[in-house]
Structure formats: structure tokens, C-alpha cells
């Protein structure tokens, strides 16, 4: 399954409908084939998608919308505690999601509302849903890719169905028919703290060497219902840890995060799935982040079209991206907006980081007046 477009109307904080497309809207050049994956014909998806913006511009919120949409498509119960809370109370929110699976194109329209139960806890209810499907033919191109106007829905939600919970999408039935559903690893919840949650077995030596060459091995095993982590540095005795959080005592934050992120990246690349990372540069140096992105933008390491969706403050990372349509600029000016760089910057010969940092796009650099006021305040305090 590949998500092509997410459009959401009715989200709080946003000035206009949230609207992002993950397929390649620009022309695909033969020298840029590493950073895209071909679905069919001339339709490609970008294998690295970046959300960039200054503080409080809506980067994390944008990733939460993507995560919520994925869980909607997975038919997860939307009242569950792990679901991102992105809906406004007592306001109808309409999701229009286009995706590709099993050589077919799908369009899901879901109208959702969040209310409160008598005990004050939130309650999410899907009010209505429709699903359209069309086969991929030689007539499908970028112009009509997302057009379902002349097609009748193949499935319409019937809320009288006692077997379908109010907070579960009709996708629950569709997912049983879709083959090759992709792995989706969401690390956005681990932005502000590091936690190594091992899958079992050994951490590949290649990942360890990349992060900290003083480590000989890290292995994980289940012993009598307990998770035991074994850590050994070269020339030292093996450490046996009975709580994964103990790794933070012996390893740097960057190493702990790196073990988690690169291990998950390897799993996603193997399955052709999705990896979401919020503030990807946290605890990482620039070259390590660039190395992570290059794994996804290399046909040899990513033959199945896995996708990394990340947010960042670092404009320099934009120069690692080959295509403007793989970059989304988040801004806040009396409301949040998300714009594709391709619609803001038509020229490809300009260095992306310099364009962003120069505030040529507007709203992408700290406000001069605010910075000047801070400088003035500091100088005043020094003079007193």
C-alpha cells in the first residue's frame, strides 16, 4: 500500500484544508530515479518526504495527521490511547485519502467527529464513509490519477451494522482483500526521549560500527518472560541489563537513538514500508542523518520503495533531497499552512538550504523584529 494524497478539511489550527501529495508531481528525470519508486506507467512516489519549518510552525502536527491517516487506513480503533489527538471537539473533519494497492487506485472519504462521553473522556465517531476503486490502465496518468468522478463507490458505510464499531473504518473489510500491506513504523512518539525497544536477536554489527565502534555487540533475548540485553565494549566484560532503559546509562543519546532508528529503517527497507521520524536531527550529527536519508534514496538499499517521512529544523538537509516536490514547508501566520516546495519554488538550480534560510519563501526564518527585540533586551540588562 502506498499513500498518494492526504486531504483533510476541518482540522483545528489550519487556515485551509491540510493537503499533501506523496507522489511525484514534478517530471521524473532519469538521473533522479534513485529518489523515487515507480508504481506504474509514469506514476512514481518519493522515497523521502521532508517537513521543514521553524519552531511552532506545525511540523509535528503535520506528522500527526499522517499518522492518524495511516491508522484510519489500518482500521485501528480511533478511540484507542495510541491514536494522535488531532481532531477538534464537536467539529466534523473530512478525510479524503488516495492510495495505491494491489494494482488498484483507491479513494476513501471519511467524515469523523470527536465529542465527549458523559464521564468527560473523548469519543471519536465515524459519521459516514465511502470508498471508490479503479483499476490501473494505460489511460491512467498524472492528470486523471486521483479522479473518481465517473465511478460509483464500491462500499458505503452503514452505521446500522452492529458488527462495525463507530470508531473503526470500513477499511477493516478492504484490508482483508489487499495483499502486501506495508509495514509502518512510527517513531514520532519518541522525539523527546530515547528508548530502545528491541525486537530480539542481535543488533547488526554494521549499525553498531556506524554509531559507536567501541561497542563489540548488543544482543537481546527473552529469559523466563524477561527481556535481557547484553552489552559488550571491546576489551571489557559483558554487561547484562534487565531493563532496556539501562542502555542510556552506558551509551550516548545518539547511539541509543541510532540503534532504534537504523534498526527500524533496516526492517522498513526490507519490507518496503514507511518510517516516520519527528525532528530527525535530534541527537544526530548532520552526516548521520544524511546517511539515513541516503538509505531510502538509493535503489540498491531500497529496491522495494520504502518511504521515510520526517520533520526537521535543519535547512542543510534539504540539499540532500533531489526533488522539490518531496519537501513540505510548514508555516504559521494566524493559522498553520503546509505548502509543497515545488509550488513555491519553480527553479531547480537554486540551493534549497539558501532559499529557505534567506526567508525568500516567507515565514521560514526567525522574525527579525523579535530577534532585534531580544538583542535590545539583553543589552539593556547588561547596562543596568
Give the contacts of 156 (CB within 8 A, at least 6 positions apart): 129, 130, 131
Assigned domain for 189 exists? no
Q: Are residues 254 and 276 in the same domain?
A: no
Contact 78, 168 (CB under 8 A): yes
Helices 286-296 & 253-271, crossing angle to 10 degrees?
10
Domain boundaries, position 152: 2-182+272-383
Tell me the pLDDT of the chain averaged across its residues.
86
Q: Are residues 83 and 54 in the same domain?
A: yes
pTM of the predicted model as reported, rounded to 2 decimal places: 0.89
**What is the arithmetic mean of pLDDT over 136-154?**
90
Q: Are residues 167 and 37 in the same domain?
A: yes
pLDDT over threshold 70, residue 181: no
Give the pLDDT band (50/70/90) at residue 332.
confident
pLDDT over threshold 90, residue 22: yes
Q: Is 242 exposed, middle or buried (0-12, 13-18, 19+ CB in 10 A)?
A: exposed
Q: Are residues 318 and 178 in the same domain?
A: yes
Q: Are residues 287 and 260 in the same domain?
A: no
Determine which of 69-73, 111-115, 118-122 has the lowest per-residue pLDDT on average: 118-122
Q: Are residues 278 and 357 in the same domain?
A: yes
| Last-in-domain residue among 244, 270, 296 | 270
CATH number reported for the structural domain that contains residue 101 in this entry: 3.40.50
Domain count, the chain: 2
- The pLDDT of residue 222 is 77
pLDDT over threshold 80, residue 15: yes
Assigned domain for 187 exists? no
Amino acid at each position: 500500500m502506498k499513500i498518494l494524497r492526504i486531504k483533510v478539511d476541518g482540522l483545528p489550527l489550519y487556515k485551509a484544508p491540510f493537503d499533501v501529495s506523496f507522489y511525484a508531481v514534478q517530471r521524473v528525470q532519469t538521473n533522479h530515479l534513485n529518489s523515487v519508486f515507480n508504481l506504474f506507467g509514469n506514476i512514481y512516489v518519493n522515497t523521502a518526504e521532508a517537513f521543514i519549518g521553524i519552531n511552532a510552525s506545525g511540523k509535528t502536527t503535520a506528522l500527526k495527521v499522517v499518522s492518524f491517516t495511516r491508522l484510519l487506513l489500518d482500521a485501528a480503533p480511533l478511540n484507542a490511547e495510541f491514536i494522535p489527538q488531532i481532531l477538534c471537539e464537536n467539529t466534523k473533519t473530512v478525510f479524503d485519502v488516495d492510495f495505491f494497492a494491489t494494482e488498484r487506485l483507491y479513494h476513501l472519504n471519511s467524515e469523523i467527529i470527536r465529542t465527549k462521553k458523559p464521564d468527560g473522556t473523548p469519543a471519536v465517531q465515524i459519521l459516514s464513509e465511502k470508498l471508490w476503486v479503479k483499476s490501473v490502465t494505460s489511460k491512467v496518468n498524472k492528470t486523471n490519477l486521483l479522479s473518481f468522478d465517473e465511478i460509483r463507490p464500491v462500499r458505503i458505510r452503514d452505521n446500522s451494522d452492529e458488527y462495525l464499531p463507530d470508531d473503526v473504518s470500513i477499511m477493516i473489510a478492504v484490508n482483508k482483500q489487499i495483499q502486501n500491506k506495508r509495514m509502518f513504523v512510527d517513531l514520532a512518539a519518541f522525539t523527546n526521549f530515547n528508548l530502545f525497544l528491541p525486537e530480539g536477536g542481535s543488533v547488526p554489527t554494521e549499525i553498531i560500527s556506524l554509531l559507536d565502534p567501541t561497542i563489540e555487540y548488543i544482543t537481546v533475548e527473552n529469559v523466563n518472560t524477561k527481556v535481557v540485553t547484553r552489552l559488550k565494549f571491546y576489551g571489557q566484560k559483558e554487561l547484562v541489563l534487565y531493563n532496556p532503559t539501562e542502555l542510556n546509562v552506558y551509551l550516548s543519546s545518539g547511539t541509543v537513538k541510532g540503534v532504534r532508528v537504523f534498526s527500524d529503517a533496516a526492517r522498513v527497507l526490507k519490507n518496503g514500508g514507511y518510517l516516520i521520524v519527528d525532528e530527525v536531527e535530534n541527537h544526530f550529527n548532520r552526516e548521520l542523518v544524511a546517511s539515513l536519508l541516503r538509505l531510502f534514496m538509493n535503489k540498491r538499499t531500497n529496491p522495494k520503495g520504502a518511504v521515510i517521512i520526517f520533520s526537521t529544523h535543519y535547512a542543510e538537509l534539504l540539499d540532500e533531497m533531489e526533488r522539490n516536490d518531496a519537501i513540505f514547508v510548514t508555516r504559521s501566520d494566524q493559522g498553520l499552512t503546509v505548502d509543497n516546495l515545488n509550488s513555491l519554488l519553480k527553479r531547480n538550480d537554486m540551493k534549497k538550504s539558501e532559499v529557505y534560510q534567506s526567508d525568500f519563501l516567507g515565514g521560514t526564518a526567525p522574525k527579525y523584529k523579535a530577534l532585534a527585540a531580544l538583542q535590545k533586551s539583553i543589552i539593556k540588562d547588561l547596562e543596568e
